[in-house]
Chain A
Amino acid sequence: MTETEPRANPSFGILTGIAWLVSLAVLVAMLITLIAQITEPRIAHHRQAGFLAKLHEIVPAKSYDNDLLDSHFTLTSAPSLGFDAPFPAYVARRGTAVVTVILPAIAQGYKEPIRLLIGITPDGRLAGVSVQNHQETPGYGERMDRNKSSWLDQFFGLSLGNPPDQEWEPRKDGGQFDQISGATITTRGVIHAVRDTLRYYADHRNDILTAAAHPTSGQTP
């Protein structure tokens, strides 16, 4: 700081300012901690409800009779789906029969990864795809929102080989899938993630169905 630069009160030094900033930070942190504790139970409740709503986009509530949030099982790492560590999957059952297995997958987004939930019936057909969360550019990302667009519906009923391997691409790249206009990377990322999940399911079908028959119950991870 030069002599010419005026200051509010030269008799108080940098130390006063630092002390003020530190005490302000402590006060702000205390306020945030207090509010966080008050809001925590409600936020946890909404998070579970929100996640269940996402699962219901894939398996309608009437199609199964187990406690979906409570029926998860752990799969070992699957680098092709973006998981380097064991990850949870979910199973919807009616009685003892598996209706749908729901696997998470991480798709390549424009900037950030897109977290998907992919429902597969025991015979390997897609029951549905829903986006758990994404950070795509506002305006593009909405096309992946089931409430605003039917873009994700085009995956329903497809399986590995239907369409053939080389057609799991956006139309622009010679594939058979509609594109989110202007968002090729996002479109391609989601399509490939869905295809890779089907491949993973095909490769590990027995392990997955065995694990799905005995899901662990307990707190949703």
Chain B
Amino acid sequence: MKATTGPGIAPTSTGIVWLCLAAMVAPMAASITLISGLFIGLIMVATLLLTIPFRTRALRSWLPTEFHIPSLLLISAGWLTVFDLILSAWLPALRASYGVYLPVLTVATAAVAWRIPTQRPVLRTSQYAAIISGLYLLTLTLLGGLRELLSQGTLLSDAWMLTGAVIAPPALTTPSASYGFLLAGLPPTVFLLLGLVAAAIKAWRLNADQKNKSN
């Protein structure tokens, strides 16, 4: 990927990879089941795509740089509050279980939105954002599902929350589900996983560099 140039804080390709990984920490910790991962991923996609229009070159050209990050924080926090209210009204069970994690997405989305290279036309930037947030969605859902399997021995145990019901029907569980691998349900596992993923990427890049040199 070609690194974009710019004044001081402008994004580079390496910068955005590491920033995306760092922004991933809080949403990942919150993805404890497949449904929660999907939920957090979807909210992140929506917030990011609704925040990107405020990253146009036109706006950036007249707004002093010091105000870029505060604006993005304000905008993403605003959208998240709107989503929070809508979820409380129409998907109360989902909101009751996972709504507390919505605020942690503020900084994550604002940071990714800030680092995304702005391109002409605006649509290209939005495509870029859509790809990044789509990958977030995929990763969060997969990791959430994996953690749910490991920690509870269930999958889609909270899918009923998507129907808007307030009261839970009894969840389907296997006899072995009562004692799962507790650690998998706790935040540390996800940080370990994040570390492993980062190390794997680093190793892959080093490997690729060496191949390039030897050629």
Spell out A's residues near B (CB within 8 Å).
1, 5-9, 12-14, 16-18, 20-21, 24-25, 28, 31-32, 35-36, 38-39, 42-43, 46, 49-50, 53, 135, 137-140, 142, 147-148, 181-182
Q: Which chain B residues in 76-134 approach chain A with CB under 8 Å?
A: 77-78, 81-82, 85-86, 88-90, 92, 96, 100
In the complex, chain A residues whose CB is within 8 Å of the CB of B96: 50
> Is residue B187 within 8 Å, beta carbon to beta carbon, of the partner chain?
yes
- Interface contacts beyond A8-B61, A8-B62, A16-B64: sample of 20 additional A-B pairs, CB < 8 Å, sorted by A: A8-B65, A9-B64, A12-B64, A13-B64, A16-B62, A18-B67, A24-B71, A31-B82, A35-B82, A43-B92, A46-B88, A46-B89, A46-B166, A50-B92, A50-B96, A53-B166, A138-B30, A138-B187, A139-B185, A181-B182
Q: Which residue in chain A gives the minimum CB-CB distance to B157?
A: A148
In the complex, chain A residues whose CB is within 8 Å of the CB of B149: none
A138 to B27, CA, bound (A): 13
> Is residue B202 within 8 Å, beta carbon to beta carbon, of the partner chain?
no
Most buried by A among B71, B78, B151: B78
> Is residue B7 within 8 Å, beta carbon to beta carbon, of the partner chain?
yes
Judge whether A148 and B171 touch: CB under 8 Å: yes
Query: Interface of chain A, helix or strand or loop or mixed?
Result: helix
Q: Which residue in chain B gives the minimum CB-CB distance to A150?
A: B178
Which of these, A17, A36, A50, A137, contacts B85 with CB under 8 Å?
A: A36
Which of these, A12, A20, A53, A147, contacts B170 with CB under 8 Å?
A: A147
Q: A6-B7, A138-B30 are in contact. Are A42 and B90 (CB under 8 A)?
A: yes
> Is residue B175 within 8 Å, beta carbon to beta carbon, of the partner chain?
no
In the complex, chain A residues whose CB is within 8 Å of the CB of B32: 138-139
| Pairs A–B under 8 Å by Cβ, sample size 7 | A8-B63, A21-B67, A31-B78, A35-B85, A38-B89, A50-B96, A181-B182
Q: A21-B74, A35-B85 are in contact. Are A7 and B62 (CB under 8 A)?
A: no
Q: Which residue in chain A gives the minimum CB-CB distance to B178?
A: A149
Judge whether B78 and A138 touch: CB under 8 Å: no
A142 to B70, CA, bound (A): 36
| Chain B residues with a Cβ closer than 8 Å to the other chain, count | 40
Q: Which residue in chain B gives the minimum CB-CB distance to A53?
A: B167
Judge whether B8 and A139 touch: CB under 8 Å: no
Which of these, A7, A43, A181, A182, contacts B65 with CB under 8 Å?
A: A7
In the complex, chain A residues whose CB is within 8 Å of the CB of B52: none
Shortest distance in angstroms between A217's beta carbon and chain B's nearest beta carbon?
23
Q: Which chain B residues in 149-191 approach chain A with CB under 8 Å?
A: 151-152, 166-168, 170-171, 182, 185-187
In the complex, chain A residues whose CB is within 8 Å of the CB of B7: 5-7
In the complex, chain A residues whose CB is within 8 Å of the CB of B74: 21, 24-25, 28
In the complex, chain A residues whose CB is within 8 Å of the CB of B167: 49, 53
Judge whether B66 and A17 touch: CB under 8 Å: yes
Which of these, A8, A43, A139, contacts B151 with CB under 8 Å?
A: A139
Q: A8-B62, A139-B186 are in contact. Are A17 and B88 (CB under 8 A)?
A: no
In the complex, chain B residues whose CB is within 8 Å of the CB of A6: 7-8
Judge whether B67 and A20 touch: CB under 8 Å: yes
In the complex, chain B residues whose CB is within 8 Å of the CB of A1: 66
Q: Which residue in chain A gives the minimum CB-CB distance to B32?
A: A138
Q: A25-B74, A139-B32, A139-B151 are in contact. Are A32 and B85 (CB under 8 A)?
A: yes
> Is residue B146 within 8 Å, beta carbon to beta carbon, of the partner chain?
no
A139 to B185, CA, bound (A): 5
Shortest distance in angstroms between B162's beta carbon and chain A's nearest beta carbon?
15
